[in-house]
Chain A
Amino acid sequence: MSGRVVVTGIGLVSCAGEGIAAHLAAYASGEAPRTDTTTYAPYPVHPVAPLTLDAQIPKKSDQRQMEPWQRLGVYAAGLALDSAGLKDDARAKAAMHLVVAAGGGERDYAVDGAILTGLREAADPGAYLNERLQNDLRPTLFLAQLSNLLAGNISIVHGVTGASRTFMGEESAGVDALRIAQARIASGQVEAVMVGGSYSAERPDVMVVHELGGFLYKPDYRPVFSRGGDTNGGYVLGSAAAFLVLESGEHAAARGARTLAILAPVANDRVRRSPGSVRASLGRLVGEAGIAAPDVVLSGATGVADLADEEVAGVRAVLPDTRIRATGDIVGHPIEVAAPFGAALAAALCATGEAREVAVISVGHRRGEGVIRVLAA
């Protein structure tokens, strides 16, 4: 009951640009990712490259109905469909399922600020809040915030309407999305799934949430594995979206699709965090994922130093000589998208012959460890 699951389409958008070639070039160059240290100072971010939205979201009305995180995702999903040669195949898209890893969407910062200012002097804060929210919230903003509406917009814009499921829960949601999509296809429960996620880092509200707990690295970018020292490091958020078209080997062969890579069953877990637990978990998961002789380890390390140290130690214990590259040094940390991005980049490396086997590692900043094995076809 476990068939081959192949990657036939890849869609990528980040600070490195859009598409497979731009990301392979960024990977090859080893240069620091494009960073904006001023707009959201003191927090650096890796802002998404400018996109020609019309190319993937033809209707302005659709563009207007979405906030940036949804537009990035719908755009990348369109690139993935193009890459799979399915953009104009209405039947295939109507049968295709979606598994999306996502959080929620942007807030209206001006409205929030004005309400918080007004609440200071409000004689009746409850009534004031009710009145302002009723008058000032854009009715459609809700739909641009709902987690499952990224999938909904992909259905509307691209006609991918098999059925969708949205997984929430930061980094591990991205790993779980890949795991469930792979397992459903491998077991014959479904034949084709587009899996991925989208994250907009250019949002003051998420910086509040991640400053809580002290998880944001500042004031500028440094390589992910060089962020320790006086503090425990932290992450630089990156805007990114990544989607992969996955199919059963038979389904891809039947339509004459080009196989870019093979996605093996994903191994992940959630262990109670204590010193050494991540290291031990990863060591076990690398084995469970069947990692043999990878050409490179693509690490989704966040930049939180103690976790990064454990991750490297865990990987080194079982793969002493394999090069480890942090995807955070290419696109920053896109939370739910970290694992899908790593898997997509791994598939691209396999597709171009630059790698035969890639291990993608994810260690969530609060929970969840995952190992994804991608192989050349």
Chain B
Amino acid sequence: MTASSARDARGRPLVAVTGLGIVTSLGRGADETWAALTRGRSGIRAISRFPTEGLRTRIAGTVDFLDTDPLVAPLLSERFATVAGEEAIAQAGIGPSFPGALFIAVPPVEMEWPQRRELAEASGEAGEVTYAGLQRAAASRRFDAWHDLFIFGTVADRIAERFDTKGSPISLSTACSSGATAIQLGVEAIRRGEMRAALCIGTDGSVNPESLIRFSLLSALSTQNDPPEAASKPFSKNRDGFVMGEGAAALVLEDADAARARGATILGYVLGCGERGDGFHRTRSSPSGEPVIAAIRAALDDAGVGPDAIDTINAHGTSTPENDKMEALGCAAVFGERIARLPISSNKSMIGHTLTAAGAIEAAVSLLTIRHGRIPPTINYAVPDPALTLDVVAGARDARVSRVLSNSFGFGGQNTCLVFGDEPA
């Protein structure tokens, strides 16, 4: 680690990662998750949290060991974020009062059906249930605690309180690229010199009937329920949709100068962030792939490296026909012929698509890939899609990895790419 380059090639503060924490369906903590990922274990299983009778998709990568009461998305998301945050901060050795801001990607919050039902019962309406009845029940003051539960800022507020982060915590969504955006916001704040550290978290605990059915109605989910662990098969010819997953990851970002000054162990660097919007369609990418290409190029450019500097790609790789095709097309355009020999892998084959958390979890896995010199596999890659000329990592592969490109794409034309490295560029 050279001490001379605490600023990047553009003279901006260099952003180091000094702590990371992960929760997925594969386990609690980075060690547990990493061991399972590199063994090719799947966390996808039959959903046990709620009845799945009559559903086209009955599987998910739920986190079943951190339950909350009530079992609702905001509380689960908060719990996962807390556990991941504790791990990251402990590793960074920067607590108990965190000396920077919180940027947290959280799923959009809504009242859920058990609570609606309870309000409906409390309304005393004999005939048709109406929202007027729910309002009357709400006015009984018996359910006031649910206000905080079902407004958008509460998860961030409680995490900010838990870790004593500074300033106004930002809750954000860029759909399925949210986790990457949380990191990007932290990187930008440190580069602006506003803070020396940022706590960036992506969290999602929204496997519940309505969320699952919403994705199902958009034909986005795999319906290959049996066996569950074989359903998510990114880049395979027979891929048929994603599998919902849950989890969280937290990264402690620090101005590299500050991290070195306090003697912290630097796990890696966020070298670059790139993003690009797409106005083509609400759920589909521009057929040309141009926004995906622009986002990848922007990340490389921001990192000050060329495509040749990338050793592996941590793919968005959702296992939907559309995403994997567009991602392959975009990568091929940026990396040229080398894309056929550049290892690419999707963690979603094992943990499913953790939605709001995905970008953060995959960032953490990218850093672990660098640290361990081992690329986790894309399991279920039994029937390669011949249309995609990719070097998909079907079994865990040992390799010297200095730099990783991590892709995240989302509904609403969201494309966010990050470049991580073991050393400054």
Contact = CB atoms under 8 A, between A and B. Distances in A.
Given A124-B51, A146-B108, A169 B135 contact: no
A160 interface: yes
A298 interface: no
A176 to B, nearest CB: 5
A191 to B, nearest CB: 14
A370 interface: yes
A187 B192 contact: yes
B129 A116 contact: yes
Interface in A200-214: 204-205, 207-214
B173 A166 contact: yes
B168 A165 contact: no
B172 interface: yes
B229 interface: no
Contacts of B185: 165, 180
Interface stretch (B84-92, B144-152, B370-378): B144-152
Contacts of A104: 108-110, 152
A147 interface: yes
Interface string A203-229: 011011111111100000000000000
B115 to A, nearest CB: 10
Nearest to B164: A272
B277 A164 contact: yes
Nearest to B291: A161
A366 B151 contact: yes
Contacts of B119: 208
Contacts of B130: 109, 113
B279 A161 contact: yes
A116 B214 contact: no
B1 interface: no
Contact of A155 (B175, B189, B277): B277
Interface stretch (B33-41, B333-341, B357-365, B408-416): B408-416
Contact of B50 (A43, A124, A126, A270): A126
A53 B48 CA distance: 46
A156 B413 contact: yes
Interface residues of B, number: 86
Contacts of A208: 111, 119, 131, 134-135, 138
Interface in A143-188: 143, 145-149, 151-153, 155-156, 158-170, 172-173, 175-176, 179-180, 183-184, 187
Interface in B38-56: 50-56
Nearest to B147: A213
A134 B218 contact: no
Given A116-B129, A130-B209, A139-B217, A163 B276 contact: yes
A1 B192 contact: yes
Given A148-B411, A164-B277, A366-B151, A131 B54 contact: yes
A165 B172 contact: yes
Nearest to A97: B277
A89 B141 CA distance: 52
Nearest to A212: B147
Contact of A130 (B54, B277, B282): B54
A173 B171 CA distance: 8
B55 A134 contact: yes
Contacts of A147: 108, 152, 173
Interface of B: 50-56, 106, 108-111, 113, 116-117, 119-121, 127-132, 134-135, 138-139, 141, 143-144, 146-148, 150-154, 156-157, 160-161, 167-175, 181, 185, 188-189, 191-194, 209-210, 213-218, 275-283, 291, 295, 410-416
Given A104-B110, A160-B277, 14 more contacts: A65-B282, A126-B53, A130-B53, A131-B54, A139-B217, A141-B214, A148-B411, A156-B413, A163-B277, A173-B171, A208-B111, A212-B144, A212-B147, A269-B167
